[in-house]
């Protein structure tokens, strides 16, 4: 079977293969090609890879899948998702933070990713303000429901952590970790004191021994390097992304992190990897004149409709209902 025209893999049972030696519950992937060019058989059992060998070397098993002509890869991971607000771009009215609605969205989004092969997802979950800890509780319920299918990691993301207004957010961040949030993070740029915000997140991470995932546009590589330097010994567990605001190519923007903050992981959005550009301080919804979505307003510059959080780059019909705004929602509202 040529690699250029693979056919759907087919299974054959013991009825067509009389040799049933070995574990009858095992699954044998036959003739798969690896990234290094080797063609191998892979034996699976108990939810794990038991053996990898040359074609025909692993014996006959009750269930075989012919992967001739197919490339076999490890399952991909989604490092930056928002399960609490996913799939809501086309919702009517205010976004619902009802526990069941959030759990449904988070579960549906994870299953959608799973359908494309992603078995591990990191979901940033807003805490405080309107959702309190309810959205996190719903995402954690989704995580339990997905056990055995996908590994869902929740990142607690408070809005403000400094000053008098940040006291509640800091307490809630600690409560979120106790509830089951595996990672702490948030958006330093939205706090009046971004440096203080990062220090607070790192303090909580150090207290509980958990990773850090900071949400930033990354429009200043030197500032990214300072963030990495602040992480100190926590650097191996620190992630910074999606870095969608940097005017520099992704590899250039992440260079200071490599030099000064070894161990920091940089997650770049798909738009950044494609080299998309935008004007400093604003995000354009589309290329049409008069369309100027701005971060502070969170509204379309033409029809003034407030964008709903959800899957990036979904088209949205704005009000009045008869007016098709045809704008695209920015990746990071």
| Domains, the chain | 11-66 (no CATH), 77-216 (3.20.20.140), 282-333 (no CATH)
- pLDDT-derived band at 290 (thresholds 50, 70, 90) equals very low
pLDDT band at 107 (very low <50, low <70, confident <90, very high): very high
Residue-wise pLDDT tens digits, 300-310: 444 444 444 33
Mean pLDDT of 177-182: 97
pTM of the model: 0.69
Give the CA angle between residues 209, 210, 214 to the nearest 5°. 135
Phi-psi region of 328 (alpha: psi -120 to 50; beta: other; left: phi over 0): beta
pLDDT at position 176 is: 98
């Amino acid at each position: 079977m040529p690699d250029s025209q693979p056919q759907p893999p087919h299974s054959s049972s013991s009825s067509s293969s009389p040799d049933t030696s070995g574990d009858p519950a095992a699954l044998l992937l036959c003739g798969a090609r690896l990234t290094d060019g080797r063609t191998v058989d892979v034996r699976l059992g108990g939810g794990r890879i038991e053996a990898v060998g040359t074609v025909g070397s692993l014996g006959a098993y009750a269930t075989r899948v012919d992967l001739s002509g197919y490339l076999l890869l490890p399952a991909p991971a989604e490092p930056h998702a928002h399960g609490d607000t996913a799939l809501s771009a086309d919702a009517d009215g205010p976004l619902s933070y009802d526990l069941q609605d959030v759990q449904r969205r988070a579960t549906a989004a994870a299953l959608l990713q799973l359908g494309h092969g992603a078995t591990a997802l990191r979901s940033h979950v807003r805490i405080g303000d309107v959702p309190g800890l309810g959205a996190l509780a719903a995402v954690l319920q989704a995580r339990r429901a997905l056990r055995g299918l996908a590994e869902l990691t929740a990142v607690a993301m408070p809005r403000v952590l400094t000053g008098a207004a940040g006291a509640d957010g800091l307490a809630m961040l600690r409560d979120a970790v106790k509830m089951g949030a595996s990672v702490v993070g948030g958006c330093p740029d939205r706090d009046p004191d971004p440096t203080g915000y990062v220090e607070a997140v790192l303090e909580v991470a150090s207290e509980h021994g958990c990773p850090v995932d900071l949400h930033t546009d990354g429009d200043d590589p030197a500032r990214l390097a300072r963030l990495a330097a602040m992480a100190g010994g926590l650097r191996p567990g620190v992630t910074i992304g999606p870095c969608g605001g940097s005017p520099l190519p992704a590899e250039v923007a992440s260079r200071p992190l490599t030099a000064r903050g070894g161990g920091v992981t940089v997650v770049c959005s798909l738009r950044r990897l494609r080299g998309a550009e935008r004007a400093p301080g604003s995000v354009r919804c589309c290329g049409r004149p008069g369309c100027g979505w701005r971060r502070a307003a969170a509204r379309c510059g033409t029809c003034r409709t407030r964008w709903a959080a959800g899957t990036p780059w979904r088209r949205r019909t704005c009000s009045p209902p008869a007016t098709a705004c045809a704008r695209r929602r920015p990746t990071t509202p």
